[in-house]
Amino acid sequence: MKNKLLLVNYLHKKIFKNIKIFIIFILIFILNSNFNVKQDILSKNYQDNEFVDLFEGVNKLTFTGLPGIINVNNPSVPLVISSEYTKNKISIAGVKYGNGFIIAFCHDSFFSDANFDYFDNKIFTKNIFKKSLKKKISISISHGEWFNKSNSAKFINFAKLNGFTTEFIESSISDFNLVDTSIFISGSAWIDFKDFEINNILNFVDRGGIALILALGWSWLTYHSERKLEELPANVLCSKFNIKWIDGTISESKDNIYNDATVFKIFYPETLNYILKINDSLKLIEDVLKNNEDLNRYLSTNQKAKENFINSIENLYLNIDVLPNKVEIFNKLKDIIEKYPYYFKKDHSFNEKEENILCWIREKFSILFYGYGLPIDENKKAVISNSLNLNGIYLDIWNKFEVLILDNNKLYYKNLEYIESLLDSLPKEVHNLKLIMIGKLLGYPIENLYLLDPNEKN
């Protein structure tokens, strides 16, 4: 907000005599600032390799017994999911918090003696160890945890081989218990955490600790019929991060069962494509473009097809900040633009009344292309300008400021000069614009296509 006020004061004193252009640009700035804030905040949660490294050398993970199900939402991500046979249910989730992270497991058996030796469970565990800042593991057993002294011998021996000491917390979880700890484990607690214990655990993670939280939703309900699932201690602990153990089980096909263990083979970041249906959205867009020579007529006369096409574009847009490796999608969007240049290249105007849908699709696709290109380097910068066929003053503005003008190629040259002059006059630290959309030149707004920020419904 401070930067917005600085910009307004600066403009008022120095730039425009033409008050109409001034007001229009301020409104455009505020719209685009929402896109920038969304990009900056969410990218901190998702765009790193913190979780990717956990699956180095991992091909199969298992849970002995009947696995439960985890639901997640931003800022948490699905780390391990079941096969399409079971509709890709989440078995392990993760979230970054401060300098550390939390990993949530759908069953308390993962580190237990009955399960620990199977397939790549130890490799996954060792990869977690590699993230540890210290060499001490603390296992809580003061809250009725099912992972405890009776079934943890193999895990403790493995930790010792990797240079770790292990202790059991048999009292309240205090700062003192966690002061030298690097990894904290709670294996399916059934006795409530006190508020101060939750704060101590979260502070521990914030300082760089790793918390491994195991729980089983369906089991809690079976043996606690008088209580709600929201009261499951793990759910109370992780509610801040939108991680929730829910009712239900994962019953896999025979191909994914080994002895009494369920086998999982889909890992982060591949999990995101399954959960978010990114590949499905790209395929639908391509199929519609491939099978319809006149896209405008097809979408204008087929309401269901129009909704599906727009929703696919919107799904890609909503998840710009979620996928950690966006290069593959960036290249896919580039291929689509090159294959269907009439719909996406910026070298002509559409009729905003008769081709209204095409106006908005092209500009929203430009937003996708830019978003999946972030962070922009010189190579991507050239790819974007060449693919979209930017030229003239549009190219000048892009090359100098990395700002796309979304105007259906209809802004007067004098208006474009004003924009270039404005951006040229602003100190770099005052603005972080990426897009300028002039909706009036695109025709009647189309739901889900005209919004820079999908949450802004004004």
Following DSSP, what letter does each residue of 71-112 receive, concatenated?
EE-TT-EEEEE--GGGT--EEEEEEEETTEEEEEESSTTTTS
Residue 241 belongs to a domain = yes
Task: Verify that 248 and 395 share a domain, yes or no.
Answer: no
Q: What is the predicted pLDDT for the residue at 399?
A: 95
pTM of the model as a whole: 0.71
Q: What is the predicted pLDDT for the residue at 321?
A: 74
Task: Verify that 200 and 294 share a domain, yes or no.
Answer: no
Task: Verify that 150 and 226 share a domain, yes or no.
Answer: yes
Residue 360 belongs to a domain = yes
Task: Verify that 62 and 113 share a domain, yes or no.
Answer: yes
Task: Verify that 39 and 103 share a domain, yes or no.
Answer: no
Residue 113 belongs to a domain = yes
| Exposed e or buried b per residue across 281-290, where buried means at least 16 C-beta atoms within 10 angstroms of its C-beta | bbebbbebbe
The answer to whether 90 and 249 have CB atoms below 8 angstroms apart is no
For the cut 80, the answer to whether the pLDDT of residue 322 exceeds it is no
Average pLDDT over residues 410-419: 93
User: Distance between CA 129 and CA 137 in Å, rounded?
Assistant: 10
Average pLDDT over residues 183-207: 97
pLDDT band at 359 (very low <50, low <70, confident <90, very high): very high
pLDDT band at 104 (very low <50, low <70, confident <90, very high): very high
Which residues form the domain of 349? 2-43+274-442
For the cut 80, the answer to whether the pLDDT of residue 85 exceeds it is yes
The answer to whether 188 and 214 have CB atoms below 8 angstroms apart is yes
Q: Provide the percentage of residues in the chain whose pLDDT is more than 70.
A: 87
Residue 458 belongs to a domain = no
Q: What is the predicted pLDDT for the residue at 204?
A: 97
The answer to whether 268 and 276 have CB atoms below 8 angstroms apart is no
Q: In total, how many domains does the chain have? A: 2
Q: What is the predicted pLDDT for the residue at 319?
A: 82
pLDDT band at 450 (very low <50, low <70, confident <90, very high): low
For the cut 80, the answer to whether the pLDDT of residue 27 exceeds it is no
Task: Verify that 284 and 201 share a domain, yes or no.
Answer: no
Q: Provide the percentage of residues in the chain whose pLDDT is more than 90.
A: 73
Task: Verify that 236 and 292 share a domain, yes or no.
Answer: no
Task: Verify that 13 and 134 share a domain, yes or no.
Answer: no
Task: Verify that 419 and 384 share a domain, yes or no.
Answer: yes
Please identify, among 220, 239, 268, the residue that sits at the C-terminal boundary of a domain.
268
For the cut 50, the answer to whether the pLDDT of residue 37 exceeds it is no
Tell which residue, 416, 375, 428, has the closest CA to residue 39: 375
SS3 238: helix
Residues with Cβ within 8 Å of 3's Cβ and at least 6 positions away in sequence, in order, are 429, 430, 431
Q: What is the predicted pLDDT for the residue at 274?
A: 86
Average pLDDT over residues 306-318: 91
Please state, rounded to an integer, the average pLDDT across all residues of the chain.
87
Task: Verify that 15 and 110 share a domain, yes or no.
Answer: no
Provide the H-helix boundaries in 142-262.
153-161, 175-178, 195-206, 217-223, 233-238
Tell me how far CA of residue 24 lies from CA of 15, 221, 415, 437, 445, in angstroms: 13, 56, 11, 11, 17
CA quadruple 417, 421, 422, 423: dihedral positive or negative? Answer: positive
Task: Verify that 211 and 329 share a domain, yes or no.
Answer: no
Average pLDDT over residues 141-154: 97
CA quadruple 246, 249, 255, 257: dihedral positive or negative? Answer: positive
Please identify, among 250, 268, 286, the residue that sits at the C-terminal boundary of a domain.
268
Residue 457 belongs to a domain = no
For the cut 90, the answer to whether the pLDDT of residue 81 exceeds it is yes
Residue 50 belongs to a domain = no
Residue 259 belongs to a domain = yes
Residue 447 belongs to a domain = no
User: Distance between CA 264 and CA 64 in Å, rounded?
Assistant: 12
Task: Verify that 206 and 111 share a domain, yes or no.
Answer: yes
User: Distance between CA 317 and CA 449 in Å, rounded?
Assistant: 10
User: What is the phi/psi pair of residue 153, to 5°?
Assistant: -60, -45
The answer to whether 268 and 52 have CB atoms below 8 angstroms apart is yes
